[in-house]
Structure 1
Amino acid sequence: MIRILILALLLAVPAGAAAQTGDAPLAPSLRQNVIVTDELVRIGDLIDNAGPAAQIAVFRAPDLGATGTVAVHRVVDAVRAHDVFAINTYGLKEITVTRASRNIGNTDIQERIASAIAGQYRIGEAKNIGITFDRNVTAISVEPGIVGDLAVTRLSFDPRSGRFDVTLDVPGSHVVRRGTLRFTGVAAEVFETAVLTRQVARGEVLRASDIVIERRPKRELSADSVADPGAVIGMAARAPIRAGQSLRRADLMKPELVARNEPVTLIFQAPGISLTVRGTATEPGTKGDVINVVNTHSKRQIQGVVTGPGEVTVSSGRPRITASLSSESVTGTPRRSAQ
């Protein structure tokens, strides 16, 4: 009986100790990467298991969207003043603190201004209005809980010069309210056009890698400007074209398959007959062009159609017949000629 009692006591002691351990508060531990949504950094943002001191502010937060670093010894000193001790720092030397934000990018700003100008001044569709700022414009950072769109509070625009002056606001944002979101620049109607990425020489054939699509002001384009890259790939430059120039149909031609004074293959074709001789082109030509060629053997000049690189074809729909048969009737009976 005594042995059973002793064993029961021995088993009861660890259970009691375990209960006390489970009820004990967890030790404070440092966070390596901290994200805050307020202007102030509180102990609970920096330290897990900070207890009653968690809501006490100890540092000022970075600007919206910015990230800063804090040395660990500064954190330890700051929280010690509020009775937070024995912090597990995991051997860290510094931690990062990021202030969360919602970013309104450059594209959002441009689209809002374009929409306002299109709606108020009727210069075209908003999607076809290009905005160029006088200075570099960076993203606007607002509080993460703000979901409202950009609002235009003031707008002036000169349709002749394209100059604009606009002030924007983000309803509900305390940060934006402290400053002024004013932008100046030029707005112009723009359209997509094919632009060369490199300089090309006369007669050079354009490849897909030579062309990009850009939005250019309408005043820089002409009626025959090309917007479809498929319409110019495989075409040749009629004259030298510099890099960055928008392409016009007048700048291009079908690739030159025969050059002036170039040796060519002359192909004579008729039903049941095909004859190949050498010749010399007296003029350049693209596919389908009719050009003059000198027969190298007979020295006679002949007209033919350019059908391939260095190839000119002379075709006849019927075999050539002699002049004495030209007066035959449809039935084939010879007709007596007038004396």
Structure 2
Amino acid sequence: MLRSFVIAAALLAATSGAALAQSEQDTLAQPSLRASVTVSSDIVRIGDIVENAGSAAQIAIFRAPDLGTTGSLPVAQLLTALRTHQVIGVDTRDLREVSITRSSRTLVSKEIEQQIARVLERRNGLGDAANITVTFERDLRELQLDAAHTGDMRATIVRFDPRNGRFDITFEIPNDVTYNPTKLRFIGTAVETVEAAVLTRAVERNEILRSSDVVVERRPKTEIGNDVINRDRSVGMQARKQMRAGQALKTADLGKPDLVSRDQGVMLIYEAPGLYLTGRGKALDSGTEGDIVNIVNLQSKRTVQGVVTGPGQVTITAPGPRLTTAALSNSEPTAAPAPESRKAE
């Protein structure tokens, strides 16, 4: 029994001695500088910069850089500050300066715009958030908040005037450390926009739009209305009026391109059951595919009506009685009835 006690005491002594030696080693470990550190507070403590600072670790010695920025601290200046707090014998590791970064939460303007759009979505006649364009009263690039602000932006005050699109919104963001939320207020305008086809140059009446003439831009819905036309549909269409560069196109501004122009020489095609005749004519009207235009038959000098069926091509279809020999002379459709009015020539 006595022997067991002696062995246990010896083991305890050995263990305690090892623990004490380890504790003394930790206590006596030489303090040394860190090359770079990141702090979340507005002050820099000795323990942030010096490893193994011991009881002096919580002593504040410098102000931290601004939120989201990095500063450099010369080692000579740092050692002077440490000596005033009896921290000596610090291993500098041959460093000339220590880099200190202040952590932060960055709110970029795009994120704030999206949050405001979500708050105003379908409010007072506005549409989806994705179609709401936000403009701030003052230029806003980005905001830096303390890193402890980890919560979501929550709108607490929302004011919106649909007559002029002005908003005044206050958000709160909780702080995990102080539990006091930060308030952010934003003022500006919000308008619902749509994608519109916009002219890159001035266009004259009857011009055909090319691909390079039209780009896509977002424009206020109040400017475009419901008569919006997309870019793909506008290319190849004909301008119905003169328009300026930068003008957003509407469906009413464009039409199918004319296949027949006024005073243009055209091919006349006369179709009847079992009969197909061609001749030459002169257009008295302009028209696109499917339009009814007046044509002068150059052989008979009579005016007839036909349907535009192709570039420089007008077709007259006769559903009526068999043609006479006179009507077929010279293979010209000289006295064909109009397909719509059925008026005799």
- 1-structure distance, mates of 2:178, 2:143: 10
Aligned to 2:167: 164
Aligned to 2:146: 143
Counterpart of 1:212 (choices 213, 216, 226) is: 216
- 1-structure distance, mates of 2:218, 2:249: 11
Map 1:9-24 onto structure 2 (within 5 A).
none
- 2-structure distance, mates of 1:114, 1:275: 65
Amino acid at match of 1:181: L
Map 1:221-232 onto structure 2 (within 5 A).
221-223=224-226, 225-226=227-228, 228-232=230-234
Aligned to 2:194: 192
Given that residues 195 and 244 in structure 1 are in contact (C-alpha distance below 8 angstroms), is that contact kept between their aligned partners in structure 2?
Answer: no
Given that residues 27 and 87 in structure 1 are in contact (C-alpha distance below 8 angstroms), is that contact kept between their aligned partners in structure 2?
Answer: no
Map 1:1-339 onto structure 2 (within 5 A).
31=35, 35-41=38-44, 50-52=51-53, 59-65=62-68, 67-70=69-72, 74-75=74-75, 77-79=77-79, 81=82, 82-83=87-88, 84-89=90-95, 97-117=100-120, 122-125=124-127, 127=129, 129-172=132-175, 181-188=184-191, 190-201=192-203, 202-207=205-210, 210-218=214-222, 220-223=223-226, 225-226=227-228, 228-270=230-272, 273-316=275-318, 320-322=322-324
Aligned residues: 289
Secondary structure of the corresponding residue to residue 250 of structure 1: helix
Which is worse superposed, 107-116 or 134-143?
A: 107-116
Secondary structure of the corresponding residue to residue 188 of structure 2: strand
Amino acid at match of 2:113: Q
| Residues 162 and 288 (structure 1), Cα distance of their counterparts in 2 relative to 1, 3 Å cut | same
- 2-structure distance, mates of 1:277, 1:175: 92
- 1-structure distance, mates of 2:178, 2:304: 82
Given that residues 75 and 98 in structure 2 are in contact (C-alpha distance below 8 angstroms), is that contact kept between their aligned partners in structure 1?
Answer: no
Amino acid at match of 1:235: M
- 2-structure distance, mates of 1:160, 1:309: 50
- 1-structure distance, mates of 2:181, 2:289: 68
Q: Which runs of 5+ in 2 are unaligned?
A: 1-28, 327-345
Shift of 1:198: 1.2
Shift of 1:196: 0.4
Secondary structure of the corresponding residue to residue 277 of structure 1: strand
- 1-structure distance, mates of 2:134, 2:177: 27
Aligned to 1:14: none
- 2-structure distance, mates of 1:310, 1:257: 6
Given the two structures, how large is their TM-score scaled by the length of structure 1?
0.66
Secondary structure of the corresponding residue to residue 112 of structure 2: helix
Amino acid at match of 1:243: A
Shift of 1:68: 3.6
Given that residues 175 and 181 in structure 2 are in contact (C-alpha distance below 8 angstroms), is that contact kept between their aligned partners in structure 1?
Answer: no
Aligned to 1:7: none
Amino acid at match of 1:140: L
Q: Which runs of 5+ in 1 are unaligned?
A: 1-24, 325-339
Cα deviations by residue, 1:160-216 (Å, 9 ceiling, x for unpaired): 44433232221217899797522222344x241414041341223345551314141
Given that residues 193 and 247 in structure 1 are in contact (C-alpha distance below 8 angstroms), is that contact kept between their aligned partners in structure 2?
Answer: no
Structure 1 vs Structure 2: percent identity of aligned residues? 39
| Residues 100 and 183 (structure 1), Cα distance of their counterparts in 2 relative to 1, 3 Å cut | same
Which is worse superposed, 109-118 or 254-263?
A: 109-118
Given that residues 192 and 227 in structure 1 are in contact (C-alpha distance below 8 angstroms), is that contact kept between their aligned partners in structure 2?
Answer: no
Shift of 1:110: 3.3
| Residues 276 and 227 (structure 1), Cα distance of their counterparts in 2 relative to 1, 3 Å cut | closer
Cα deviations by residue, 1:23-78 (Å, 9 ceiling, x for unpaired): xx8996874x765433345677668xx4437877665333323x34537xx14542
Shift of 1:131: 3.3
| Residues 130 and 281 (structure 1), Cα distance of their counterparts in 2 relative to 1, 3 Å cut | same
Shift of 1:303: 2.2
Amino acid at match of 1:104: L
Cα deviations by residue, 1:116-147 (Å, 9 ceiling, x for unpaired): 4568x644446255433221123233234533
| Residues 62 and 126 (structure 1), Cα distance of their counterparts in 2 relative to 1, 3 Å cut | farther
